[in-house]
Structure 1
Amino acid sequence: MPAETLAHDDLFDAAFLDRLRVLALRLRKRRQLMRRGSQSTPATGFTREFKDYRHYAPREDYRAIDWRLYARLDKLFVRLYEETQELNLHILVDTSTSMARPFPEKRRQALRFAVALAYLALSAQQRVSLYSTNSSVRQELPPLRGQGNIEKVIQAVSKLEFDGITDMKRCFEEFRPSRQRFGIIFIISDFFGHEIGSATDAVSRVAAWPGENHFLQIVHPAERAPDLDGELELTEVETGERRRFWLTKRDVARYTETFDAFAENLATECARHRIDFMQVGSDEAFEERFLDLLVRGSALAGGV
């Protein structure tokens, strides 16, 4: 079966970037109300940016004096700096078949989140890398910096091919973020694997990655609570396996309970390992859910 792709214009209409700019402003206002000052993380990778001068006070470190300014003004001033952290945003997008078929709305929602995250990071002069995952992990974009690179991100995600099976264990083993710089990692996926617990089993591996980790689960309403009844032939979209069933309302209710338990167990395991988890429906409004994601406490939001 041919791989699924999405046309650029089908994914990002003319007003999409304008809406991202508005979202960035709304987020900045929320953050200004919530806290002031520079972001704080336990990681390395800080740079110092000059901000201002002030008069030298007795017993201060004389090494902070600006001697060139003293030569011109015959007065002692010290230079003030602000420490800013260089963040590295890694976006991992699940490109297995189940993210595009039979519900292409999942793919659209996932890619919009990916581009929006990249936009915020690039506009804050942070580095952005893009990866695709299915049976293995592949780097689709090397680290980029600067808001002018957002079109490269849009082009890259538009060309992603959605095909193949999900192997989370292998992908999480292959992905090795740098330990030298603080990383923010977003995994955008439905987290469906060969076994119902495969995503939960992989959480501990992600917890070992340095930095801040997020699971963003994209699901379709019919995956949560399918409207099915009677005799059916169902196809597993990633393997092509077909099976015939006779489903009753009780069977569907049991499925819904199992799905809810799967999502709840994944969220619980993420919380136990200090990984942020959020589930987003493919039918939910993108703008509001994107803000919901960021105000949960990501360092990325603090850099906006």
Structure 2
Amino acid sequence: MSKATESSLLSPSLLAQLERLELVTRKIFRGRMKGERRSKRKGQSVEFADFRNYVAGDDLRMLDWNLYARLDKLILKLFLEEEDLHFYALVDASLSMDFGDPSKLEYAKQLAASLAFVGLIRADRVRIETLDQPVSQRNPVYRGRASAWRMLRQVEAIEPRGGTQLAAGVKNFCLRNPGRGIVVLISDLMDKDGYETALNYFLSHEMDCFVIQVLSQAEIEPDVKGDLRLVDCEDEDEAEITVSTPLLRKYQQTLNSFCSGAQQFCAKRGMHYLLANNQTPVEELIARHLRRRGLVR
């Protein structure tokens, strides 16, 4: 049994499903190494793609001499190029994510590990980071199936930590990773300063950006009543409330407005947005919802 199958994050049935998938990007990125990904650009692989006329400076080794003998024209053979892809998973490990059953953080870790595994088996370059990392701390880049157990060990070690500013975390990520590729932000987006500044930082990079907002079922449909004293887990701010039907209705309206606002904000900036309930199995989220949004196929 492989080390990957021994992980609590990836069950054997989930691994079997992930084996059949690959990450997809709408943009073309030039990789540093040859990978298993079919590029829209023409390169020098062994699979023929097309012909075109020779122009000065082209590689003479790519000339089709048989056509030259027949047509007396210099024609270049083009081949499909395979390239590797950068995949980044940016996980929110703030204390607000340590809520629910399973906790939002555990759900985020399983989702990040699943997508990273898909990238590894397709020879993409994978890096997983958290929002609380300083600019100078760059996590390792994983590549290939043999790196799966090291990737899983890193993800399993992620623990909830103190309050993390969403904007500062995304800004530091962008400063650490100036390259291109796919970035998936997995967060509840719960920051008193808002999410807008944070998400705008992604626009400075030519990345295919996916924002997955993870909420617990208890947040989506709270089952509470009576007099309560609420304490913010990150800054210990307190509020006393009396839960009533009108208050719950108002809460529901506010939450719906918050989520739809995030969705519209992302759509206007060419980002993908998905709301994930922690009760939705990760395999269903990937196979149905993320496939529909074009992250996997």
Rounded to whole Å, the distance in 2 between the matches of 1:285 and 1:42 is 31
The one-letter code matched in structure 2 to 1:289 is L
The one-letter code matched in structure 1 to 2:30 is T
Residue correspondence of structure 1 range 11-50 to structure 2 within 5 A: 11-22=9-20, 24=21, 41-45=27-31, 48-50=43-45
Rounded to whole Å, the distance in 2 between the matches of 1:65 and 1:267 is 50
Deviation per residue, 1:59-101 (Å, 9 max, x gap): 768821489xxxxxxxxx9876322233111110000111123
Secondary structure of residue in 1 paired with 2:19: helix
* Identity rate, percent: 22
Counterpart residue number, 1:238: 234
Deviation per residue, 1:200-244 (Å, 9 max, x gap): 332222222222111011111221221221111222122233332
Is the CA contact (8 Å cut-off) linking 2:87 and 2:119 kept in structure 1? yes
Secondary structure of residue in 2 paired with 1:293: helix
Counterpart residue number, 1:250: 246
Is the CA contact (8 Å cut-off) linking 1:130 and 1:140 kept in structure 2? no
Kindly tell me: are residues 80 and 42 of structure 1, through their superposed partners in 2, closer, same or farther at Cα, counting changes over 3 Å?
closer
Quote how far apart the aligned CAs of 1:136 are.
5.4
Residue correspondence of structure 1 range 87-102 to structure 2 within 5 A: 87-102=85-100
Q: Which of residues 220, 224, 228 in structure 1 aligns to 2:224? A: 228
Structure 1 runs not aligned, ≥5 long: 1-7, 32-38, 68-76
Counterpart residue number, 1:272: 268
- More displaced, 165-174 or 211-220? 165-174
Quote how far apart the aligned CAs of 1:41 are.
3.0
Counterpart residue number, 2:290: 293
- More displaced, 217-226 or 264-273? 217-226
Is the CA contact (8 Å cut-off) linking 1:234 and 1:242 kept in structure 2? yes
Counterpart residue number, 1:51: 46
- TM-score of the aligned structures, taking structure 1 as reference length: 0.76
Rounded to whole Å, the distance in 2 between the matches of 1:297 and 1:103 is 28
Is the CA contact (8 Å cut-off) linking 1:50 and 1:79 kept in structure 2? no
Counterpart residue number, 2:168: 170
Residue correspondence of structure 1 range 164-203 to structure 2 within 5 A: 164-176=162-174, 178-179=177-178, 181-195=179-193, 198-203=194-199
Rounded to whole Å, the distance in 2 between the matches of 1:153 and 1:78 is 42
Is the CA contact (8 Å cut-off) linking 1:86 and 1:182 kept in structure 2? no
Kindly tell me: are residues 140 and 173 of structure 1, through their superposed partners in 2, closer, same or farther at Cα, counting changes over 3 Å?
closer
Residue correspondence of structure 1 range 76-115 to structure 2 within 5 A: 81-115=79-113
Is the CA contact (8 Å cut-off) linking 2:100 and 2:216 kept in structure 1? no
Deviation per residue, 1:167-196 (Å, 9 max, x gap): 0111122122655x531101011110124x
Is the CA contact (8 Å cut-off) linking 1:214 and 1:276 kept in structure 2? yes
Secondary structure of residue in 1 paired with 2:293: coil
Is the CA contact (8 Å cut-off) linking 1:52 and 1:79 kept in structure 2? no
Secondary structure of residue in 2 paired with 1:175: helix
Counterpart residue number, 1:124: 122
Kindly tell me: are residues 120 and 14 of structure 1, through their superposed partners in 2, closer, same or farther at Cα, counting changes over 3 Å?
closer
Number of residue pairs matched? 269
Rounded to whole Å, the distance in 1 between the matches of 2:215 and 2:100 is 12
Kindly tell me: are residues 266 and 53 of structure 1, through their superposed partners in 2, closer, same or farther at Cα, counting changes over 3 Å?
closer
- TM-score of the aligned structures, taking structure 2 as reference length: 0.78
Secondary structure of residue in 2 paired with 1:187: strand
Is the CA contact (8 Å cut-off) linking 1:51 and 1:80 kept in structure 2? no
The one-letter code matched in structure 1 to 2:27 is T
The one-letter code matched in structure 1 to 2:294 is G
